[in-house]
A and B are shown apart, each in its own frame.
Chain A
Amino acid sequence: METVINIGYLVAAVLFILGIKGMTKPKTAVRGNQMSATGMLVAIIAALLDNNVVSYEYIIIGVLIGGAIGAFIAKKVAMTDMPELVAALNGIGGGASLLVASANYLESQKLAEMGQFVPTYDWSIAVILSILIGAVTLTGSFIAVGKLKGKIGDAKQVRLFKWIVKLSLAALLAGAAYFAAVDPVNSDLLIAGLIVLCLILGICLVMPIGGADMPVVVALLNSYSGLAGAAAGFVLGNNGLIITGSLVGASGIILTSIMCKAMNRSLTNVLFGGSMSESSGVSRSENDAFYEGKVKFSSADELAMLLDGAQNVVFVPGYGLAVAQAQHATRELAGMLEKQGAKVKYAIHPVAGRMPGHMNVLLAEAEVPYDQLVEMDAINPEFSQTDVAIVLGANDVVNPAAAEDPNSPIFGMPILDVHHAKTVVVVKRGLSPGFAGIPNELFIRDNSLMVAGDAKKVLQDTISALKDL
């Protein structure tokens, strides 16, 4: 039986790998996801066959509760809220790993009493690691959700949090050493204390990170949720868990490094540098003075006239598009322009929005064909032939200072070269600075026009103006 179960876990792991492989092309992705789901089913059946499972009623209760909540969330969530959902699921995954490790610890205690289990060093280390990663992922993710929702602002006492982090790490090390070396079996209180400590650690690690850096944090916590699973696998001695956890861990790490590269920052700088607007930002009056009288304001009617004769149009979506839920209006306007014979593309910056690929999902929801979504490196050479570039609620990712001003705090960050287009139309609610907290020179250039307002409203007005022309 043991052999059958282990082969089951192996089959599940292979199905997960093939499933992720399916995700390499949009055409095969749905099937890939179904393969992963099948893999999960195989793994669950294998677990149910385990000798240690003698009663099923509690298992069924847990599955029913979790399944109902999960299905409800998946049906209800709006595409604009995907970053929050993924962050929350990271946290839930971490929480599950934490609970598994704790439950297993209690069982091992009982087994040790019965004389069937002798703790080893590597088991002790695995227990501590799975508690650490699970607990940090749990609380860190929910702080990230709060920051994504804007409920938790950028922390002022960065130093205090760093101090708590250092202190709890030291306490954790001491506790872990005692646990592993002195008494791994009868340490209920110590383990409970370490769990609380790690929960606090998760909060204090994410609190000082700026809201703008949440895409990186969410990707990193995604990785942690996988590693937490792998650590639980080490505790249980279950290879299926180890393989799967490390796949998820690798995925999160890759996305984290892509995000960091796109912001031209190191991971250490993101995690421990504090919020960017805190260190480099300008004050409100400096910001106002920068733009004073230099911005050319325009209207939806003028934008419609401009688009009427345009051949090449590029939309540049940013977080503002998600906030305004303007993806459908964008698609509608694009459709009208295409009917007039214009070529329409969408330029996607890797950190546009609040998570990797966020803009792509929003535009896909509005039925924009994915081959019109062009990555930064491919679209940048095309901006010089672009008649109108429409920036929808993006700011720092189109700031030419990143390419031209060596003194700018964002110098070196790869940007979309919209300033090379014949005309740039910036649709934005106001002139407040973006995440980096600095003014944007693009807005006062000769070839740029500003249409102030909510992206959805402006686009709808443009559509009706275009119809009247």
Chain B
Amino acid sequence: MEMFILSLTIFVLAVFVGVEVINKVPPTLHTPLMSGTNAISGIVVVGAIISSGGSEHTTVLSTVLGVAAIALATINIVAGFMVTDRMLNMFKKK
């Protein structure tokens, strides 16, 4: 239970940090913000990697699910960062 409370504390504090930072993003950049956060939410790849790393307690099914999860999360990461970069470069040049 202590672990849970610690995680919950981190979660709540991180939400506040997020609100503070994101409130300052101007409306002009809201679309790149959304695609950028799409990329960041690909962080679940971390969980997927651990699941498909093939240690003794994984099963065939859990490995299959893990690899599928890696593929999906990587789509998010790669497409998200690349398309955000594409958009932001349009804003940069004058």
Contact = CB atoms under 8 A, between A and B. Distances in A.
Q: Max chain A CB contacts within 10 Å: which of B37, B51, B55?
A: B37
B70 A360 contact: no
B56 to A, nearest CB: 8
Interface string A368-385: 011001010000000000
A229 B41 contact: yes
Given A33-B84, A74-B80, 5 more contacts: A86-B34, A228-B44, A244-B41, A258-B30, A358-B31
Given A230-B11, A239-B10, A92 B55 contact: no
16 contacts: A20-B33, A23-B29, A27-B92, A40-B39, A47-B45, A51-B55, A59-B67, A96-B72, A96-B73, A236-B50, A248-B18, A250-B14, A251-B37, A356-B27, A357-B32, A361-B90
A93 B27 contact: no
Contacts of A102: 62, 65
A360 B18 contact: no
Contact of A255 (B15, B30, B49): B30
A65 B69 CA distance: 11
B82 to A, nearest CB: 3
Q: Which 5 A-B pairs have the closest CB atoms?
A: A66-B74, A250-B18, A62-B70, A53-B53, A70-B78
Q: Max chain A CB contacts within 10 Å: which of B47, B76, B77, B81?
A: B47
B75 to A, nearest CB: 4
A70 B79 contact: yes
Contacts of B46: 9, 43-44, 46-47, 238, 240-241
A71 B92 contact: no
B21 A20 contact: yes
Contacts of B70: 58-59, 62-63, 66
Interface in A46-99: 46-48, 50-56, 58-59, 61-63, 65-67, 69-71, 73-75, 77, 79, 82, 85-86, 89-90, 92-93, 95-97, 99
A53 B40 contact: no
A97 B65 CA distance: 11
Nearest to B29: A23
Contact of A249 (B18, B29, B49, B84): B18
Nearest to A254: B22
A335 interface: no
A228 B89 CA distance: 30
B67 A62 contact: yes
Judged by DSSP, the binding face of A is: helix
B55 A52 contact: yes
A381 to B, nearest CB: 18
Given A20-B22, A36-B39, A357-B31, A237 B3 contact: yes
Interface residues of A, number: 120
A226 B41 contact: yes
Interface string A18-35: 011101111101100110
A16 B37 CA distance: 9
A242 B41 contact: no
A427 to B, nearest CB: 23
B77 A360 contact: no
Contacts of B75: 66-67, 69-70, 73, 89, 92
A233 B65 CA distance: 17
A218 B79 CA distance: 17
Contacts of A65: 71, 74
Contact of B29 (A36, A75, A254, A357): A357
A93 B79 contact: no
A16 B40 contact: yes
Interface stretch (A104-112, A272-280, A282-290): A104-112
B47 A241 contact: yes
Contacts of B35: 82, 85-86, 89
A114 B25 CA distance: 49
A37 B36 CA distance: 9
A82 B90 CA distance: 14
A19 B81 CA distance: 11
A330 interface: no
Given A36-B39, A373-B28, A236 B54 contact: no
A155 B30 CA distance: 29
A20 to B, nearest CB: 5
Given A89-B38, A251-B18, A358-B31, A30 B50 contact: no
B41 A37 contact: no
A67 B78 contact: yes
Q: Max chain A CB contacts within 10 Å: which of B62, B63, B75, B82?
A: B75
B30 A356 contact: yes
